Amino acid sequence: MQNTSMLLYNMTEKILSLTLKVLQDCEIGETENLTEDLNNRERLIGVLNYLQDKLSKEPTNINKQLIEESNRILGQIEKLDIQIVDSLEKIKEETNSEIAKVYKTKENFRGYNLKNTK
């Protein structure tokens, strides 16, 4: 179980690292690899859930320090998730605004098309 505690701790560190990368990409508007990073993060969270289940079934010989540190990191991740959602909402609003501008410009330009006199 000591090994599982260490795996759990390492997994939470990897999730934190990927979460920080996603947040940084959101804040600078870099959306190219965002979906891939979020999918990878989701897979890591699945592994983390598996490790937590494994630890809960055999609670002997658990390294309590590593578990406490993992829980602290998970708390950080939760706070960062809120920031990520806010950043993604901002990106969504900006994208919707851009789409509306393009559509309006297209409609205005269509009005000047003298070949289409319907």
pLDDT at 116 (0 to 100) = 59
Tell me whether residue 64 is in a domain: yes
Question: Higher-confidence residue: 93 or 116?
Answer: 93
Give the pLDDT confidence of 53-77 residue by residue, as tens digits.
888 887 766 788 888 999 999 999 9
pLDDT at 103 (0 to 100) = 85
**70: containing domain:** 2-111
Q: pTM above 0.85?
A: no
The residues, ordered by sequence, that sit 6+ positions from 56 with a Cβ below 8 Å of its Cβ are none
Tell me whether residue 117 is in a domain: no
If one counts the domains in the chain, the total is 1
Give the pLDDT confidence of 15-38 residue by residue, as tens digits.
999 999 999 998 888 888 888 999
Question: Higher-confidence residue: 98 or 60?
Answer: 98
**Mean pLDDT of the 5-18 span:** 92
Side chain identity at residue 12, one-letter code: T
Tell me whether residue 118 is in a domain: no
Tokens of 90: 């901002």
1, pLDDT greater than 50: no
Nearest Cα to 80, choosing from 17, 3, 9, 7? 17
Per the prediction, the chain carries an average pLDDT of 86
